[in-house]
Amino acid sequence: MSSSLPLAEFLHFLQFNQGLSANTLAAYRADLRKFSHWLQAQSLAWQTLQNVQLEAFMLQLSDECKAASNARLLSSVKRFYAWAQQQKRVQSNPVDQMVAPKAVRKIPKVLSEAQIESLLQAPDLGTALGVRDRAILELMYASGLRVSEVVELPFEQLNLNAGMVQVVGKGAKERIVPIGEEAAEWLQTYLQQARAELVGNKRVKTLFVSRLGRPMTRQTLWHRVRNLAESVGIFSDLSPHGLRHAFATHLLNHGADLRSVQMLLGHSDLSTTQIYTHVAKARLQSLHQQHHPRG
């Protein structure tokens, strides 16, 4: 009986049976490697691990990592053991009785509508890259797509006539998202004026390409957004999800219902979307205090 964790087999199962994204698989790999290293350091076999031993591992982590990271790691280990039980490689699951540490859910900081407008105006439209960046920003703010969804978006999944984009999100779940007239016009401009110049003779499946005519990476896109934001004086904790947060919050501020926003974002659980109601309420409270005579 091998004491090494069958990590490759488990990740293969997640990829081809569960349809998890590359980013999610990377997170599982990192978590389980950390778990495997701890097992080796303690001379423990994963097949015979006891609940009390796993609790010692989590206690050690609580001094080293944030609660959110620990909760994710415990979830990864739990899923691994559930798979191992299904494969009849273990008789009991040491994670069954454990409760994940509660992570404090942070309310995201959201750019105001005025800041978003400034950001949208930031790209230099005299260049192909500037036209591309404007199209990207308009699409992200109009649709709430994740950064990974934008850079991986296939050319053929954009329907400008219908004003829609077909997205394959987390867990290989598909959704149809409207993009609005403004974003559609900028995407049309990008396709007519900039994309061919950037691509050259290459055949690239993704809608957006780098300055070298290749598919963009998440890092490239994020750096572009951050640099454009800083160029117009936006330095406040802008995250890669900044435009996605703004999309959701501004919709709620203007009266959209939570369930519709959930569908547009591609959240499987409504509780994930509810974080934006706190942002919207905080904004309304601020406006009330600022403008109401009894505020």
244 is catalytic: yes
Query: In DSSP terms, which residues pair with 174 in a beta bridge?
Result: 168
What would the DSSP string read from start to end of the chain? ---S--HHHHHHHHHHHS---HHHHHHHHHHHHHHHHHHHHTT--GGG--HHHHHHHHHHHHTTS-HHHHHHHHHHHHHHHHHHHHTTS-SS-TTTT--PPPPPPPPPP---HHHHHHHHT-S-TTSHHHHHHHHHHHHHHHH---HHHHHT-BGGGEETTTTEEEEE-GGG-EEEEE-HHHHHHHHHHIIIIIHHHHHTT----BSSB-TTSSBPPHHHHHHHHHHHHHHTT--S---TTHHHHHHHHHHHHTT--HHHHHHHHT-SSHHHHTHHHHHHHHHHHHHHHHHSTT-
The residue assigned the tokens 């978006």 is: 153
276 is catalytic: yes
Considering 146, 195, 224, 250, which one is annotated as catalytic?
Answer: 146
Based on the residue annotation, tell me whether 146 is a catalytic residue of this protein: yes
Our CA angle for 149, 75, 176, nearest 5°, is: 25
Give all strands of the β-sheet with 164-168 in edge-to-edge order. 158-159, 164-168, 174-178
Q: Of 72, 244, 245, 250, which is the active-site residue?
A: 244
Q: Which of 34, 134, 224, 267 is catalytic?
A: 267
Q: The tokens of 200 are what?
A: 């050259």
241 is a catalytic site residue: yes
Set 175, 214, 241, 283: catalytic member: 241
Q: Please choose, from the candidates 128, 153, 141, the residue with its C-alpha nearest in 3D space to the C-alpha of residue 229.
A: 141
Catalytic, out of 89, 170, 214, 218:
170
- Between CA 219 and CA 240 the distance in angstroms is 9
Active-site residue, 267 included:
yes
Which residues are known to be catalytic?
146, 170, 241, 244, 267, 276
